[in-house]
């Protein structure tokens, strides 16, 4: 015959049940946190796949935004590196500089990834310096044009309004009011001065305009050709980089060859942009000079003679 349970046994069973309930309650938040982490990682992978698709299609700005979205959901350093590369391709150089620097500051990451980030960061900063110098050259060209126009206007004003000479001290007011007698040295000087014709200002604009227009068109065409060549080489390089084996290792090109070709393209791209910009500015300046130049077969002059005013206009 079984003996009845003792009070200790009864309390032991109750404590066991309470302990199980407490353990279950403590495990529930952990399961919820794990589920939330899994959903976050899944969302980050979804953003990553969309970013890779946009990058392959050449939509680098949208790809950078999606890479940032994936990094915000799951801070994996490779997402930040990919965002910086997309920003570099779209010439958002300040953002690329910032994200490469952030990637290099992360404690995680392979040595190879850090080395590539440093290489691309140097490319970004070199490209930005080249663009800054190109803008400075363009600004100097505009300043030179404005200075030349100001000097031309000043020369025209000085030619149209010569500095008056004072009459001889011995001349009286009455004599100054009377025209000089015909045949006298004063009359001869006045007649010669009256017959002098003032050339129309701006005659230099036509040859200078044609020269600037021709040089600008050639420079812009050369810059456009160089830009198209760079983009074609970039597409070829991207295609060789995308050639990967089953382990996602690049087999289409060796890494030293990739570094050399990518560095060359990054140096040629801003040069093509600068050359095109300078050509467009020069062509525009030449066209403006031609549009404002006086007609080649027209002239105008004003003559002042003794007792008369003569205005001559020839076409």
Q: Residue 86's pLDDT is what?
A: 94
Whichever domain contains 55, its CATH number is 1.25.40.10
- Most confident of the following: 163-167, 278-282, 289-293: 278-282
Reported as a pLDDT band with limits 50, 70 and 90, residue 140 is confident
Reported as a pLDDT band with limits 50, 70 and 90, residue 293 is confident
Tokens of 104: 């290099």
Once rounded to an integer, what is the mean pLDDT over residues 294-305? 53
Once rounded to an integer, what is the mean pLDDT over residues 25-30? 50
Residue ending a domain, among 131, 165, 187, is 131
Q: Report whether pLDDT(187) > 50.
A: no
Q: What is the pTM of this model?
A: 0.39
Q: Is residue 280 part of a domain?
A: yes
Q: Is residue 8 part of a domain?
A: no
Once rounded to an integer, what is the mean pLDDT over residues 194-214? 68
Q: Are residues 208 and 313 in the same domain?
A: yes
Q: Is residue 13 part of a domain?
A: no
Q: Report whether pLDDT(15) > 60.
A: no
Q: Is residue 270 part of a domain?
A: yes
Q: Is residue 17 part of a domain?
A: no
Q: Is residue 227 part of a domain?
A: yes
Reported as a pLDDT band with limits 50, 70 and 90, residue 96 is very high
Average pLDDT over all residues of the chain: 74
Tokens of 37: 């982490």
Higher-pLDDT residue of 247 and 153 is 153
Q: Are residues 207 and 299 in the same domain?
A: yes
Q: Is residue 68 part of a domain?
A: yes
State which residues form the domain around 278.
203-315
Q: Residue 302's pLDDT is what?
A: 47
Q: Is residue 217 part of a domain?
A: yes
Q: Are residues 217 and 299 in the same domain?
A: yes
Q: Are residues 213 and 315 in the same domain?
A: yes
Reported as a pLDDT band with limits 50, 70 and 90, residue 17 is low
Q: What are the DSSP calls for the chain, one per residue?
A: -PPPPPHHHHHHHHHHHHHHHHHHHHHHHHHHHHHHHHHHHHHHHHHHHHHHHHHHTT-HHHHHHHHHHHHHHS--HHHHHHHHHHHHHTT-HHHHHHHHHHHHHSS---HHHHHHHHHHHHHHHHHHHHHHHHHHHHHHHHHHHHHHHHHHHHHHHHHHSPPPPPPPTT--HHHHHSPPPTTSHHHHHHHHHHH--PPPTTTTHHHHHHHHHHHHHHHHHHHHHHHHHHHHHHHHHHHHHH-B-TT--B-SS-HHHHHHHHHHHHHHHHHHHHHHHHHHHHHHHHHHHHHHSPPTT-EEEEEEETTEEEEEEE-
Q: Are residues 112 and 220 in the same domain?
A: no
Q: Are residues 125 and 220 in the same domain?
A: no
Residue ending a domain, among 84, 106, 131, is 131
pLDDT tens across 229-251, in order? 888 888 887 887 776 655 556 66
Q: Report whether pLDDT(9) > 60.
A: no
Q: Report whether pLDDT(29) > 80.
A: no
Q: Domains in the chain: how many in total? A: 2
Residue ending a domain, among 78, 104, 131, is 131
Q: Residue 199's pLDDT is what?
A: 47
**What does the alpha-carbon distance between residue 66 and residue 78 come to, in Å, rounded to a whole number?**
13
Q: Are residues 110 and 212 in the same domain?
A: no
Strand partners, 250: 244
Q: Residue 61's pLDDT is what?
A: 94
**What does the alpha-carbon distance between residue 71 and residue 120 come to, in Å, rounded to a whole number?**
20
């Amino acid at each position: 015959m079984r003996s009845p349970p003792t009070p200790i046994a009864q309390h032991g069973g109750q404590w066991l049940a309470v302990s199980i309930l407490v353990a279950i309650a403590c495990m529930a938040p952990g399961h919820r946190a794990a589920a939330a982490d899994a959903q976050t990682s899944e969302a980050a992978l979804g953003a990553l796949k969309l970013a890779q698709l946009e990058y392959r299609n050449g939509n680098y700005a949208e790809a950078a935004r999606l890479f940032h979205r994936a990094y915000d959901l799951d801070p994996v350093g490779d997402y930040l590196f990919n965002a910086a590369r997309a920003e570099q391709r779209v010439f958002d150089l300040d953002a690329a500089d910032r994200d490469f620097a952030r990637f290099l500051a992360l404690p995680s990451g392979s040595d190879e990834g850090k080395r590539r980030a440093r290489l691309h960061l140097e490319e970004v900063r070199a490209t930005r310096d080249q663009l800054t110098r190109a803008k400075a050259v363009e600004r100097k060209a505009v300043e030179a044009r404005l200075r030349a126009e100001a000097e031309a206007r000043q020369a025209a004003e000085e030619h149209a309004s010569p500095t008056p000479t004072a009459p001889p001290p011995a001349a009286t007011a009455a004599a100054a009011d009377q025209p000089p007698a015909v045949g006298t040295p004063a009359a001869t000087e006045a007649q010669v001065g009256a017959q002098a014709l003032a050339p129309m200002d701006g005659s230099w604009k036509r040859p200078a305009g044609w020269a600037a227009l021709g040089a600008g068109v050639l420079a812009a065409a050369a810059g456009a050709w160089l830009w198209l060549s760079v983009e074609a080489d970039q597409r070829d390089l991207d295609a060789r980089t995308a050639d990967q084996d089953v382990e996602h290792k690049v087999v289409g090109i060796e890494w030293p060859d990739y570094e050399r070709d990518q560095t060359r393209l990054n140096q040629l791209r801003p040069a093509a942009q600068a050359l095109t910009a300078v050509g467009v500015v020069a062509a525009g300046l030449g066209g403006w000079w031609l549009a404002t130049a006086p007609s080649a077969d027209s002239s105008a002059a004003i003559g002042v003679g003794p007792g008369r005013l003569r205005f001559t206009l020839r076409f």
